[in-house]
Structure 1
Amino acid sequence: MSSINYSEKIPNNVNLADDRTLQRALEQWQPNFLSWWGDMGPDGSHGYDVYLRTAVSVDAGGWAHFDHVKMPDYRWGIFLTPGDADRRIGFGEHRGEPAWQEVPGEHRANLRRIIVTQGDTEPASVEQQRHLGLTAPSMYDLRNLFQVNVEEGRHLWAMVYLLHRYFGRDGREEAEALLDRRSGDDDNPRILGAFNERTPDWLSFFMFTYFTDRDGKFQLAALSESGFDPLARTTKFMLTEEAHHMFVGESGVSRVIQRTAQVMNELKTDDVNKLRAAGVIDLETIQRYINFHYSVTIDLFGADHSSNAATFYSSGLKGRYEEGKRDDDHRLDNQTYRLLDVTDGRLVEREVPMLNAMNEVLRDDYIKDSMAGVNRWNKVLEKAGVDFRLSVPHKAFNRQIGTFAGVRVAPDGRIVSDREWQARQNEWLPSAEDRAFVASLMGRVAEPGKFANWIAPPAIGINRQPVDFEYVRFN
């Protein structure tokens, strides 16, 4: 078992005790992290005892332990999957060479950029979600929020370890900057646009954890293929935690849909005003939330045509999703890929070198995965006998990055005029009225086993506990 030493100030399985210089550096960073958590972590939560999962080993069969813990006392640490001394780089110009255990000098700047960008998303999501605990729809959901938050904090530790261990002074400065930026701040915002958006309500939170944490899954999976072995091993373990975040999102939206369908059947109506008066979220509003969060998230994959993405792949820094399962030469020198473009007011396809389309390759894999979950939500509606079906919008809809930035595209993929966009925007994206209505439903439900009117209870509890278990002790 690759166990974690919890007797140390910073729990880890990287033999931190044997590297006194690194240990001192991280022990100096730790108080700054705890100060950031105190300022920007979940609002009002610091005295609660929360039923949290903590890593005790990184083996598939035994990496989690559940107990009530005060979140400021959560044992954040540094956990890598076990190494393979014979591991080889699986793609790019260095394919077949031994994986790097230290940073190759020629790739230093690009690797640092990749790690910093990934690391910046982790505290950003905690900042975006810090007020949600005040309006949790149940104690079960409050616990899930807090679990997501502490794991995002641990993912920050994962990236900071790499910066401190492998990038010297530059790495230490970047690690400090990760605590200095703030989500949505005008002067010092987070690096990626989606992580400067507000997460003002629980429907937004569920959409974020379904769509945006799914981006995390695909980015981490691509990095887990990296020729830089410490990065690959770090992100492989992060993926085990990311799966829970996506579960929170998918099951949360599913339960919202289930409750809405139940009230639609009870009242025998699909009238939006009647459903809102009954205190549930109408399906049209849920669709608009999907449109917004999906379109903001697919921008996170970057420009569709990217020389940086080509460099990252060719250099062996960042692979494709499930690289090892692909049946090609893993170099892609002569491969092409079809990208969407705009010509004479129409969407058309054009072929480009696949190396320059690596962002789009990853985005398309993400889109397939996202659509599968939306189809599972539709099964809930189908089972309830409701005819309405949810969908993801066209990939060109509401884009701010790449070929489609500023191009007005309807959810069905039609290019539309500015006039039509302005006239119909509130049909396609959440309006101020939609957000105000959803906000009006938000109010904390803190009694074990009780749930807000707008969401159904889960089928089962956490870690085989009953649904009415005391997941959070408010003390």
Structure 2
Amino acid sequence: MSTINYSEKIPNNVNLGEDRTLQRALEGWQPNFVNWWDDVGPDGSTNYDVYLRTAVSVDPQGWAQFGHVKMREYRWGIFLNPGDQNREIHFGDHKGEKAWQDVPGEHRANLRRIIVTQGDTEPASVEQQRHLGLTAPSMYDMRNLYQINVEEGRHLWAMVYLLHKHFGRDGREEAEALLQRQSGDVDNPRILGAFNEKTPDWLAFFMFTYFTDRDGKFQLSALAESAFDPLARTTKFMLTEEAHHMFVGESGVSRVLSRTAAVMNELKTDDPQKVRAAGAIDLGTIQRYLNFHYSVTIDLFGADQSSNAATFYSSGLKGRYEEGKRTDDHILKGQTYKVLEVKDGQLLEKEVPMLNALNEVLRDDFIKDSVAGVGRWNKVLEKAGIPTRLTVPHKAFNRQIGALAGIKMSPDGRVVNEQEWAAKKSEWLPTSDDFAFVASLMGRVIEPGKFAGWIAPPVMGINRQPVDFEYIRFG
């Protein structure tokens, strides 16, 4: 007998109730998912009723229904954007052919790898953020953290659905492995490096959701172009939720800057020690956190030259960001792109085949988008009359992947020697002292409408609720 009422427990638009094979596969996976959530999901939150947004359909009325719910009982739905039977593949060697509804045999291994890699990031970030609820600066922020956590869980379900539906036994085994790897685990880590880093405090969380969830936006946008129609439609719907994650990061850092600027103006000082003594986070620390999270995130795009990237594009598996808005031939053979290399201590540009440089194309799109947001943070400082500005470091700074891996580079783009790197590293990247100081501020504030002293309140609440609304009812 089925243990799950599919239309109730798992809202979906994929006719889940009519597919017995898929039902059985998901019934086997679902208890393991709940065990994973209990073991490494949000710490101590089991009895909380949280004011969450739940998607129950893809139309504007259904994709954001709000109400208090226990996270463990959240309805992790499976949704694909509406399909178009006449959709054509619009890039690569199959351009002009009908989009695929099933996985072509020759692309099976690559498609599975793409889906698994994307799927692996979703539970990883829940694990990384597991303890943050214990140090939330407000009930409003705690609620936003939990919203992101349940949506990462839903994105995991979305990828697991594709694995179970389209990849048979291999897919079932991959779906199990997604719950077995763990962020930072020495023996069985997550696939991508950034998802094994710690997220120790809320400044790191805001930087992670600003930069690393923005990587998610660009990766999902590239997959939303895929010739494999179920993947394209799934990732398109995921993008509606990813926007909220980036909002939490961008507005979070803006609120930290706003509070820091207010303290600097009250004390009439830019002395970091005096700012810290007053319980705010100094601008130097914020810049160092920015440098770290930005550099770790741009590594997520992979090596600057990649035969895999060329294969994924030519095969139609993964397009470029906003592929449809580009005016080239969407096949790219014979086209070139500039990448960086270091020769004789100098940073130089060189032309390489564009198909091999598609990771770099996506990275550059991400960089442009990230820089715009940092400009919005600087407006907060400008409005407060603070002359300091945050900057995005050079893209060769602190890189661990590709041709720039291990190059000693200053944030302003100078190749430096080992001595200068050692001397200046503590000015450029967060130190143990920075982490200890930020940790010292992380006291939990959970009274409605109250905020920790290092962050300003938001301008407005969630879903037109007041800022002092009871977003969480503690059981």
Per the normalisation by structure 1, the TM-score is 0.98
Deviations 1:298-335 (A, max 9, x none): 00000000000000000000000000000010000121
Amino acid at match of 2:472: V
The residue correspondences of 1:413-424 to structure 2 (distance < 5 A) are 413-424=413-424
Q: Would you say 1:237 and 2:248 are equivalent positions?
A: no
Partner of 1:55: 55
Residue 256 of structure 2 contacts residue 281 of structure 2 at CA under 8 Å; is this kept in 1?
yes
Shift of 1:6: 6.8
Shift of 1:61: 5.1
Shift of 1:33: 0.2
SS of aligned partner of 1:66: strand
Amino acid at match of 1:384: A
Partner of 1:18: 18
Deviations 1:227-280 (A, max 9, x none): 000000000000000000000000000000000000100110000110000000
Identity of aligned residues (%): 81
The residue correspondences of 1:221-260 to structure 2 (distance < 5 A) are 221-260=221-260
Amino acid at match of 2:277: A
Q: Would you say 1:267 and 2:260 are equivalent positions?
A: no
Partner of 2:370: 370
Partner of 1:276: 276
Partner of 2:395: 395
- Distance (Å, rounded) in 1 between the aligned partners of 2:61 and 2:154: 20
Partner of 2:106: 106
- Distance (Å, rounded) in 2 between the aligned partners of 1:178 and 1:399: 27
Residue 279 of structure 1 contacts residue 441 of structure 1 at CA under 8 Å; is this kept in 2?
yes
Partner of 1:93: 93
Shift of 1:188: 0.2
Partner of 1:129: 129
Shift of 1:117: 0.2
Shift of 1:56: 2.0
- Distance (Å, rounded) in 2 between the aligned partners of 1:9 and 1:66: 16
SS of aligned partner of 2:158: helix
Residue 260 of structure 2 contacts residue 283 of structure 2 at CA under 8 Å; is this kept in 1?
yes
Residue 7 of structure 2 contacts residue 17 of structure 2 at CA under 8 Å; is this kept in 1?
no
- Distance (Å, rounded) in 1 between the aligned partners of 2:320 and 2:59: 24
Amino acid at match of 1:340: L
Q: Would you say 1:356 and 2:356 are equivalent positions?
A: yes
CA separation of 1:433 and 1:379: change in aligned 2, threshold 3 A: same
Deviations 1:24-59 (A, max 9, x none): 110110000000000010000010000000002212
SS of aligned partner of 1:403: coil
Deviations 1:98-137 (A, max 9, x none): 0000001000000000000000000000000000000000
Partner of 1:29: 29
Shift of 1:11: 2.1
Shift of 1:152: 0.2
Partner of 2:146: 146
SS of aligned partner of 2:212: helix
Deviations 1:327-382 (A, max 9, x none): 01000012110111111110000000100000000000000000000000000000
Amino acid at match of 1:248: V
- Distance (Å, rounded) in 1 between the aligned partners of 2:54 and 2:62: 11
Partner of 2:339: 339
The residue correspondences of 1:209-220 to structure 2 (distance < 5 A) are 209-220=209-220
Residue 261 of structure 1 contacts residue 381 of structure 1 at CA under 8 Å; is this kept in 2?
yes
- Distance (Å, rounded) in 2 between the aligned partners of 1:376 and 1:423: 31
Amino acid at match of 1:145: L
The residue correspondences of 1:379-390 to structure 2 (distance < 5 A) are 379-390=379-390
Matched pairs, number: 471
SS of aligned partner of 1:247: helix
Shift of 1:63: 1.4
Where structure 1 has 5 or more consecutive residues not aligned to the other structure, the ranges are none
Over aligned residues, Cα RMSD in angstroms?
Answer: 0.8
Where structure 2 has 5 or more consecutive residues not aligned to the other structure, the ranges are none
Residue 59 of structure 1 contacts residue 81 of structure 1 at CA under 8 Å; is this kept in 2?
no
Shift of 1:12: 1.2
Amino acid at match of 1:443: G
> Which stretch shows the higher mean deviation, 91-100 or 56-65?
56-65
Moved over 3 A (4+): 5-9
SS of aligned partner of 2:453: coil
Partner of 2:74: 74
- Distance (Å, rounded) in 2 between the aligned partners of 1:62 and 1:22: 24
Shift of 1:430: 0.1
Deviations 1:146-203 (A, max 9, x none): 0000000000000000000000100000000000000000000000000000000000
SS of aligned partner of 1:368: helix
Partner of 1:65: 65
- Distance (Å, rounded) in 1 between the aligned partners of 2:449 and 2:406: 47
Residue 122 of structure 2 contacts residue 153 of structure 2 at CA under 8 Å; is this kept in 1?
yes
Residue 11 of structure 2 contacts residue 57 of structure 2 at CA under 8 Å; is this kept in 1?
no
Deviations 1:202-245 (A, max 9, x none): 00000000000000000000000000000000000000000000
- Distance (Å, rounded) in 1 between the aligned partners of 2:27 and 2:10: 8
- Distance (Å, rounded) in 2 between the aligned partners of 1:437 and 1:176: 39
Partner of 1:182: 182
Shift of 1:7: 3.8
SS of aligned partner of 2:403: helix
